[in-house]
A and B are shown apart, each in its own frame.
Chain A
Amino acid sequence: MTDVVSAAERVKPQGGWTAIRTQGLSKRYGPVDALKNLDLEVSEGEVVGYLGPNGAGKTTTIRLLLGLARPTAGRAEIFGIDCQRQPVEAHRRVAYVPGEASLWPSLTGAETLHLLGRVHGRVDPVYRDELIERFDFDSSKKVRAYSKGNRQKLILIAGLMTRADLLLLDEPTVGLDPLMEQAFRHCIHEARERGQTVFLSSHILSEIEALCDRVGILREGALVEMGTMAELRHLSALTVEATFDGSVPDLTGVEGVSSIETVGRVVRCQVRGSVEPLLQALAVSGVHKLLSHEPSLEELFLAHYGQRAETEGATADAG
């Protein structure tokens, strides 16, 4: 018996839909595990960032959600609709913006927007015209005459103009200048206000930090971290920078302190857990200035990959 249910039969659950749900989603390309056992939930109206280095599995995840690739194991749903069994139903509620646009070179920008709007079946023409103006886009040119940035604008407009319930964005601002990137951020804020769900895969950490409610970090096909910025910061180290009047104390061995760097009379270190042991050590050494800040997303991200590099380095040394 099949559990395929038509859109009309589906009833919105209390507390809203889960926009994206994956269970044990996996994809293997030959000997390579591109995605390993991904369990992910994104609620309706959330803006979720998806981080990872090249080859971590970000695009694979999105292609599996879109049904462009078949999972090796597991399943994925968009608003309760099975992405593999009912892709057409799922796609009615989705807009996708890839990071690289291969379009029909003989069509103009306006013709491409017309075509993609008709295929999607849902377009807000007033908003489309507003986006064209906001992104300063000349839609009368043929696609082959556009620069990379203009082609990216074109597919961004094509995705956003549908006002779809879920925006799947795979490095959408590649090739955009800073002004256009600001315009993009504005659009995502608007989308959030309208209650649209956004799943944003990006390398631009400041973009993710500015836009996203939650962040997932992928490493080698596995989701290694998922949470709000506050949750991720809580799990991570605090950066402390102390400047001394006199001699610099040796902080090695102080509980919770790591990554100590000394430059002249300035010491920079990371603190995990309570800061009290560090404060006690500093109190006896004549601190002139003390600065501390929570880790940025960049630091969190690098910390994750730094750990891996350290582990690999240790393994290599042991070898």
Chain B
Amino acid sequence: MPADPAVSAPAPAGRSPSTVMARLTAKKAVRSGALWGCFFGICVASSALTYLSSYKTPAAREKLVASFGSNTALASLFGPAHQLQTVAGFTAYKVLGFLSIVGAVWGLLAGTRLLRGEEDAGRWELLLAGQTTRRRAAAQALAGLSAGVAALFAVTALVTVVTGRSSKVHFAVGEALFFALALVCSAAVFLAVGALASQLAATRRQAAAYAGYAFGACYALRMVADSGVGLDWLRWATPFGWVELLQPLTASDWLPLLPAAALVVALAGATVYLAGTRDLGASTFPDQSNAPLRPRLLNGALGLAARLMRPTVVAWGAALAATAFMFGFIAKPAGAALSGSNSINRVLSHLGAHGAGAKAYLGVAFLMMSIMLGFIGAGQVTATRAEEAEGRLDHLLVRPLSRRSWLGGRVLEATAVLVISGLGVGAFTWLGGASGHAGLPFSSVVEAGLNMVPPALFVLGVGALVIGVWPRATSIVIYGLIVWSILVTLVGGFSNNNHWLLDTSLFHQMAPAPASAPNWTAGGVMIAIGAAAAMVGGAAFRHRDLVGE
């Protein structure tokens, strides 16, 4: 006879309720970590294979060493080079610096999203009503995040070990595992930075900004340390320096793992401690919850968008300006270091730069900044989609505001941001060049800045299209497009790949100004395709339901 449901005792639902937060966080972190692990693995494998195909003879490899081995200008961009005459040395040089940055950005965004973001969304409130405390919940979330790092490590390590089994590549298993560990080291550190920032800030955006400041400071320290001005010891003061000091695949020094591990433990401990000292939803730093009415810009949807994007745009603008100034400032010595090396010029020409001296150097530098500009465009797209996904757009569109005006306004506003950013990069590079006596013509550097804008506008246009036709896939499509383009450009920089493949990269389409004249035709085509995509997206947006997350 079945039991009376009215009097039956509640049965345990699934696994232990005391670990539910760890499992929920781990589920999201592991998925993301595994995906990025695939990207890391592809970068490692492609770099190793590219080296084998591009530098087949000992003579070619010695030339590479002579050109890159002690080049401080390139070290400030890509990090120091060790044992470039080997596949291992080249692979470490090629991907370690770049993937450390990618991993750090992933870590700080994942840390703030899965801690402060979940709290902002109110989901922690439900979970904290269960069998846990604020401190235990924070500890569990950290455990979940560490599962994400483990997934990132596992996938990266798997691909690296498999790549290393090739007789031509030949990484020992231990070396491959240590390399994977070095690649995820900055991700682990900045995941913990993001977790701590989530305790200090009142919102996810604010937490990401705090973590971003820490990232910027650490990266700047690394650049100074690698600039060859006798401040090498500064590498010990930044996680990016620790990653370099590990020297995976070449010297494999375990010592720098100690400060990294100590910092992660300290940050995790501080996170758990602070979680118990504040109210749920509140911040450790005092939050200004009251404010006087500041109606400027709040006269319509466009003004609102401008106000909402202001902090992000200012932060990105400052980062771009500082980077542009720094590139301009070191353009003269860096250009001199590059001159006269055929192999370097060959590599740079694969990356898209032509000519020689400061302009060749800036050709590569502007390529890197155009990637940053692409990310700004992608950020604008995802912020636009977030207004709809999180239900705030409803409040505007139930008033006399057409969908066309709203989306069109957002796209035009983002266009203005990108164009101004491009001009700003040109102007600050020139300013830096003038300070460093590089003798850069103002018009050609500003033109080079504008030359970076079309790929970002293409991203914006495609973003509007995806918002119109497949809104829930906006982030993955847009960031996927940029990551793919970076990957193809990186691989293409060191090898003679199929031009059809290279043509799929946005950044390969732009001329390497100021190393050569901007290709306004190609830029115009990219803008025209972007505009057409935006128009199709706008039309689709007008004829579909508004949809949430």
CB distance from A92 to the nearest CB of B (A): 5
B289 and A141 form a contact (CB under 8 A): yes
Instruction: A100 to B548: give the CA distance in the assembly, Å.
Output: 13
Instruction: A63 to B399: give the CA distance in the assembly, Å.
Output: 13
A120 and B400 form a contact (CB under 8 A): yes
A88 and B298 form a contact (CB under 8 A): no
1/0 per residue A120-157: CB within 8 Å of B?
Answer: 11000000000000000000111011000000000100
Given contacts A119-B301, A119-B401, 7 further A-B contacts (CB under 8 A): A68-B398, A102-B390, A116-B399, A119-B300, A119-B396, A119-B399, A145-B289
CB distance from B112 to the nearest CB of A (A): 15
CB distance from A84 to the nearest CB of B (A): 9
Of all chain B residues, the one with the shortest Cβ separation from A96 is B398
Instruction: A115 to B395: give the CA distance in the assembly, Å.
Output: 10
Q: Which of B289, B308, B397 contacts A68 (CB 8 A)?
A: B397
B298 and A115 form a contact (CB under 8 A): yes
Instruction: A210 to B497: give the CA distance in the assembly, Å.
Output: 75
Q: Which of A69, A88, A105 contacts B400 (CB 8 A)?
A: A88
Interface residue? B58 (CB, 8 A): no
A92 and B400 form a contact (CB under 8 A): yes
Instruction: A105 to B288: give the CA distance in the assembly, Å.
Output: 12
Q: Given A102-B390, A103-B395, A121-B400, check contact A111 B295 (CB 8 Å).
A: yes
Interface residue? A91 (CB, 8 A): yes
Q: Given A92-B400, A140-B292, A141-B290, check contact A118 B299 (CB 8 Å).
A: yes
A111 and B293 form a contact (CB under 8 A): yes
Chain A residues positioned under 8 Å from B401 (CB to CB): 88, 91, 119
1/0 per residue A81-95: CB within 8 Å of B?
Answer: 000000111011010
B308 and A66 form a contact (CB under 8 A): no
Chain A residues positioned under 8 Å from B480 (CB to CB): none
1/0 per residue A256-282: CB within 8 Å of B?
Answer: 000000000000000000000000000
CB distance from A299 to the nearest CB of B (A): 24
Interface residue? A234 (CB, 8 A): no
User: Size of chain B's interface in residues, with CB distance under 8 A?
Assistant: 34
Interface residue? B402 (CB, 8 A): yes
Interface residue? B31 (CB, 8 A): no
Q: Which of B293, B300, B308, B395 contacts A106 (CB 8 A)?
A: B308
Interface residue? A236 (CB, 8 A): no
Q: Which of A68, A108, A121 contacts B394 (CB 8 A)?
A: A68
The 10 A-B pairs at the shortest CB distance, nearest first, are namely: A102-B391, A145-B289, A96-B398, A69-B545, A115-B298, A110-B293, A120-B399, A119-B399, A91-B400, A92-B400
Q: Which of B288, B396, B545 contacts A70 (CB 8 A)?
A: B545
Q: Which of B289, B299, B397, B545 contacts A142 (CB 8 A)?
A: B289
Of all chain B residues, the one with the shortest Cβ separation from A164 is B399
A102 and B400 form a contact (CB under 8 A): no
Interface residue? B392 (CB, 8 A): yes
Chain B residues positioned under 8 Å from A92 (CB to CB): 400
Q: Which of B291, B399, B402 contacts A140 (CB 8 A)?
A: B291
B545 and A103 form a contact (CB under 8 A): no
CB distance from B316 to the nearest CB of A (A): 18
Chain B residues positioned under 8 Å from A66 (CB to CB): 397-398
Interface residue? B47 (CB, 8 A): no
B392 and A103 form a contact (CB under 8 A): yes
A69 and B546 form a contact (CB under 8 A): yes
CB distance from B327 to the nearest CB of A (A): 33
B392 and A94 form a contact (CB under 8 A): no
Chain A residues positioned under 8 Å from B298 (CB to CB): 107, 111, 114-115, 118
Interface residue? B123 (CB, 8 A): no
Interface residue? A221 (CB, 8 A): no
B395 and A155 form a contact (CB under 8 A): yes
CB distance from B183 to the nearest CB of A (A): 36
Footprint of B on A, CB under 8 Å?
63, 66-70, 87-89, 91-92, 94, 96, 98, 100, 102-108, 110-111, 114-116, 118-121, 140-142, 144-145, 155, 158
A104 and B392 form a contact (CB under 8 A): yes
A104 and B304 form a contact (CB under 8 A): yes
Those of B509-549 within 8 Å (CB) of chain A: 543-546
Chain B residues positioned under 8 Å from A145 (CB to CB): 287, 289-290
Of all chain B residues, the one with the shortest Cβ separation from A69 is B545
A116 and B395 form a contact (CB under 8 A): yes
Chain A residues positioned under 8 Å from B545 (CB to CB): 63, 68-70
1/0 per residue B258-289: CB within 8 Å of A?
Answer: 00000000000000000000000000000111
Chain A residues positioned under 8 Å from B398 (CB to CB): 66, 68, 91, 94, 96
Instruction: A87 to B545: give the CA distance in the assembly, Å.
Output: 13
Instruction: A5 to B404: give the CA distance in the assembly, Å.
Output: 20
Chain A residues positioned under 8 Å from B543 (CB to CB): 70
Instruction: A63 to B391: give the CA distance in the assembly, Å.
Output: 12
Chain A residues positioned under 8 Å from B392 (CB to CB): 102-104
Instruction: A106 to B202: give the CA distance in the assembly, Å.
Output: 10
Interface residue? B91 (CB, 8 A): no
Pull 7 A–B residue pairs with CB atoms less than 8 Å apart, ordered by A. A66-B397, A69-B546, A102-B392, A106-B203, A108-B291, A119-B399, A140-B292
Of all chain A residues, the one with the shortest Cβ separation from B392 is A102
Chain B residues positioned under 8 Å from A98 (CB to CB): 394
CB distance from B323 to the nearest CB of A (A): 27
B293 and A108 form a contact (CB under 8 A): yes
1/0 per residue B139-177: CB within 8 Å of A?
Answer: 000000000000000000000000000000000000000
B295 and A114 form a contact (CB under 8 A): yes
CB distance from A288 to the nearest CB of B (A): 35
Chain A residues positioned under 8 Å from B203 (CB to CB): 105-106, 144
CB distance from B93 to the nearest CB of A (A): 43
Instruction: A92 to B202: give the CA distance in the assembly, Å.
Output: 36
Of all chain B residues, the one with the shortest Cβ separation from A122 is B400
Instruction: A105 to B289: give the CA distance in the assembly, Å.
Output: 10
Instruction: A144 to B65: give the CA distance in the assembly, Å.
Output: 56
Chain B residues positioned under 8 Å from A102 (CB to CB): 390-392, 394
Of all chain A residues, the one with the shortest Cβ separation from B405 is A88
CB distance from B169 to the nearest CB of A (A): 49
Instruction: A122 to B394: give the CA distance in the assembly, Å.
Output: 18
Instruction: A116 to B395: give the CA distance in the assembly, Å.
Output: 8
B395 and A140 form a contact (CB under 8 A): no
Interface residue? B294 (CB, 8 A): yes
**A118, A121, A140, A155 — most chain B CB neighbours (10 Å):** A118
Instruction: A269 to B308: give the CA distance in the assembly, Å.
Output: 62
A142 and B291 form a contact (CB under 8 A): yes
**B120, B202, B398, B545 — most chain A CB neighbours (10 Å):** B398
Chain A residues positioned under 8 Å from B202 (CB to CB): 144
CB distance from A230 to the nearest CB of B (A): 33
Instruction: A300 to B24: give the CA distance in the assembly, Å.
Output: 43
Instruction: A86 to B545: give the CA distance in the assembly, Å.
Output: 16
CB distance from A93 to the nearest CB of B (A): 9
Chain B residues positioned under 8 Å from A94 (CB to CB): 398
Q: Which of A87, A111, A118 contacts B294 (CB 8 A)?
A: A111
Chain B residues positioned under 8 Å from A108 (CB to CB): 290-291, 293
Instruction: A66 to B395: give the CA distance in the assembly, Å.
Output: 11
Of all chain A residues, the one with the shortest Cβ separation from B282 is A145
Chain A residues positioned under 8 Å from B546 (CB to CB): 63, 68-69
Chain B residues positioned under 8 Å from A100 (CB to CB): 391
Chain A residues positioned under 8 Å from B400 (CB to CB): 88-89, 91-92, 119-121
Those of B284-329 within 8 Å (CB) of chain A: 287-295, 298-301, 304, 308
Instruction: A98 to B399: give the CA distance in the assembly, Å.
Output: 13
B293 and A104 form a contact (CB under 8 A): no
Of all chain B residues, the one with the shortest Cβ separation from A68 is B546
A104 and B402 form a contact (CB under 8 A): no
**A91, A103, A108, A119 — most chain B CB neighbours (10 Å):** A119
CB distance from B311 to the nearest CB of A (A): 9
Chain A residues positioned under 8 Å from B399 (CB to CB): 91, 116, 119-121
